[in-house]
Amino acid sequence: MRSTWLLLAVLLLLCGVVGALFLREEAPHSRGIAHPEHGAMMLGADGESRHGELLGLGWAFAALQVVFFVGLLGLALRRGGRVPMRGALLAGGALHVLAFTMMFRSYEAFARGEPVELFLGFPPPTAWMLLGVWGAPIFFLLLYVLRFRALIWDAESRERFERLVAQRRASS
């Protein structure tokens, strides 16, 4: 039961991050400006001036989302008040937050205009997004696929469920 209070607390913190944005004065190019030569394109312009002070809040927004998602995975797996393989879920969450953290850290240098060495064809923070942030949840996917019987559905549960269905059909 405590875990759902924690989920509510995380939601309130996420609301706090969004609320803080309503109170801040927004930089004129915070959501891009029109490209001077190509009408249907936008420019991001100077990354450091529009994002420099927001990176901490942005990281918190991303990390809180991951914490909330992992909490929901725990809610989905909980049986009899216990979450099986809680350590693995937390490790997966930590991996996901780490991917976000590395992306933010490499973006700091990128936004300052430091020389960029491409990784697999992309600037490092973008590569972290495409490979790290996209890839990290594969951990949970593998957990689902490889530990399906332990986490989701085993023979004992199936037998109990079949009895439940039979009872229900007999009584209706």
Interface positions, 71-110, toward another protein (CB under 8 A): 72-73, 75-80, 96, 103, 107, 110
The residue to which tokens 């490889």 are assigned: 146
In angstroms, the first-to-last Cα distance of the chain is 33
User: In angstroms, rounded to a whole number, what is the distance separating the alpha carbons of residues 43 and 159?
Assistant: 59
Helix (H, G, I), strand (E, B) or coil at 89: helix
Rg, C-alpha atoms of the chain:
22
Q: Which residues between 20 and 39 bind another protein (CB under 8 A)?
A: 21-22, 24, 26, 30-32, 35, 37-39
Cβ at position 24, least distance to another protein in Å: 7
Nearest in space to 56 (alpha carbons), one of 108, 125, 7? 108
Cβ at position 157, least distance to another protein in Å: 5
Q: Which residues between 105 and 164 bind another protein (CB under 8 A)?
A: 107, 110-111, 113, 116, 118, 120-123, 125-126, 128-130, 133-138, 140-141, 144-145, 148, 152-153, 157-158, 160-161, 164
φ/ψ of residue 32, rounded to 5: 95, 160
Cβ at position 71, least distance to another protein in Å: 10
Cβ at position 90, least distance to another protein in Å: 15
